[in-house]
Structure 1
Amino acid sequence: MFKGILITKDDAGYQARVEDIDDAVLPEGDVSVRIARSTLNYKDGLAITGKAPVVRRFPMIPGIDFAGTVVDSRNPAWTVGDEVVLNGWGVGETHCGGLAERARVKGEWLVPLVASFTPRQAMAVGTAGYTAMLCVLALEKHGIKPADGEVLVTGANGGVGSVAIALLAGLGYQVVASTGRVSEAEHLKALGATSVIDRDELSAPGKPIGKERWAGVIDTVGSHTLANACATTRYRGAVAACGLAGGMDFPATVAPFILRGVTLYGIDSVMAPLAVRQEAWERLGRDLDLGKLNAMTREISLEEAIPVAAELLAGKVRGRVVVDVNR
C-alpha cells in the first residue's frame, strides 16, 4: 500500500481523494519508482477537478510529472538507486501518474535526473519548465538571436511563462511579458522581463496583420492571443505555440505566414523523443538560474494539491507548485 491521490468515477460521481492505494492499481511497467516530488500543471488541475475529460481510465492517479528513485527494474537502462524524472507520455491520463508515493512505468519514458538539480528543483521545472525550454530551443534553432529584438511571452505568470522569462533573460533576450495580472509586474521583472503588458492588448479579435514588433514569441494561451502574436511578429520571425489556456481555436489568416514569412512552431512535450528530452533537460541544468526558479516556486503537501488544483484553474497560482508526495 502507498499514499496517493486517486480519481474515481462511478454512481457517486467524479471524485479525487487522498487514499491508501493498493499496488494492484498500478499498471504494467518494467520500472518501479519511489517518488520524491511531483508538481501541479494546468493539465493536472483539469484532471483533479474534472473540468475537462483529461482522465481516460479509472481509477487513476493524476500527475503528469515525477522525480524519484528506481526501486525495481526489469529494464537494462535502469538499476536500483538511479534518480529519474518523468514528463508526459500519457501518465496521469491513461497511465497512473506522479501524485503518489510510488509509480510503475515503462523504462523508456524516463530520463536521468540532471546532476545539478535535486528532485525538488526538477519538479519546480516540471513539464511546464521543460516545455518552456523546448520553446526556447525552437526559437534558437530558427536563428533568433538576442540582438534581433523583443521576444513576447504570453501567460507570463503561469508555469511555462515564468520559466520561459527566466531562461530567455538569462540568455540575453529582451523579454516582454503579457499577463492578466499586471499587479505582478515587479515579480515578472525580477524574473527578467524588460517590460510587462496587459493581456487585453492581445486577447481581443485583431487585424489579419499588424505592426511588426516581435522577433519571436512563446505563446501559452492560443486563440486570439496567438493570432495577434503571429500578426505582429517581424519578418521571418517565429512563434512557438505550446498552450491553449485561452482556447483551442486559432482565428487567424495566412497573411503573417505568406507576407512576412513568419513560422509557427507547434511544441509537443508529451510524446517528444528521448533525444529531444535529454537536450532540453541538459540545457535547463545549464541555463536556468536556480535563484529565479526558487523565487517562482512554492511547495505543498499531497493533501493540499486538491484545493490548489482548483486555484490553478482559476488563475490564482503564480509560477510553479511542487508537491511533496510524502507528507
Structure 2
Amino acid sequence: MSAMIEIEHMSKTFRLARRRPGLLGGLRSIINPEMRTVQAVQDISLRIEKGEMIGLVGPNGAGKSTSIKMMTGILMPTAGSLRVAGLVPIEQRRELASRIGVVFGQRTQLWWDLPLIDSLRLLRHLYRVPEERHRANLEHLREMLDLDEFIDTPVRQLSLGQRMRGDIAAALLHDPEMLYLDEPTIGLDVVAKARIREFLLHLNAERGTTVLLTTHDMDDVEMLCPRMVIIDHGRKLYDGSVSAIRERFGGERTLIAVLDPSDLDQLARRDAGEVCLQGLPVGVRQIRAEGPRVWLGFARDALPAHELVAWLGGRYRLRDVTFQEPEIEDVIRRIYEENLLLQDVQVIA
C-alpha cells in the first residue's frame, strides 16, 4: 500500500492576546496586547496508508481538530512536513479539495433553506463533477444512505441524523480518495449511529476510501477502526490497534461460566444463597454469581484464559463459557486518569 497521509514532526503554535480584567485592562489589551503562546500540536509524525480506517482519539483540546485543519489545508503547520495524496495541503488546496471529503459533525456544508436535493445538485458545480458521474454517485448515495424519505425537505427541517447523512452524501459526491469525519455521530440516536457506521464500513470495503475519524464515541472506534491514534496536549501518545491497547491497558478480563446446577451443592458452598467458588487460582476473583452463572475476573498476566477454563473444567461440569473484554471507553479513561501512556511514550508512540 502507498501512503495517503505522510506527516513528519508536525507542530502548530498559536499566539493569542491575553485579555486583562477591567475596563482599563481591556483598553490596554487592545492598545498593547500581552501575547501568550499555545502549543496546539507538538511534533506529531503519522503515516496513513490508502484504504485504512483510523480513529483519532483524545479529550477536548487535545489537538484533533487542529490536526485535521492542517491536513485539509485550512491551517499551515508551524513546523514539520505534511503531504496528503502526495500534495502539500496549504500550498495545493484547490487540487486537494477535489480529492478529499470533510464532514464536521457540528457544522454543515448544505444550504440551510434549500431542499437537500438542491444542495446536492449545486455541489456538482462547485466540485466540477461531470453530470453523468454526479448522477451515478447521487443515485448510489441515495440508496445507501436512505435519503429519498427526506431529500426534498429543506435542510433546516431535517433531524440531526438526517442532516448528517446529507452531509456525508455531500462530502462523497465527487468520489474523494480521503474522507475526514470530525465527530460524525455526535448527538445521534442509536439507530442513526448504526446506519452511518454500516454505510462507512460499506464505503471502505467497496471503494477503498481512506477514512480518518475523530470522535468521543468509543463505539465508533471499536466498530469502524482497526487502528487508533491517541493524542493529548498536542502529542501523539499511542498509535496501534484497538485490541493491542486493550490488551496492554485493559486491566481485568471477565470469564462468564455457566455451571451444571447439579454440581453447585456438592462443589460450592452457598453464602446468603449465592454460589461462592472456593480455592480460585492466584489472580482470579469471583465478581458475582446468579444461579449457575458465575463471573470471574482475572488479570491478563496472572493466568492464561485457557488455563482458567481447564481449572474450572477439572472441578465443575461446564455448560457454557464466554469471555468479556473491558470496554474500550473504560480503557481510555484509565489511561488518562492514571497517566499511563505518558510514563513510557517513547516506547509505544
TM bin, normalised by shorter chain, reads under 0.3
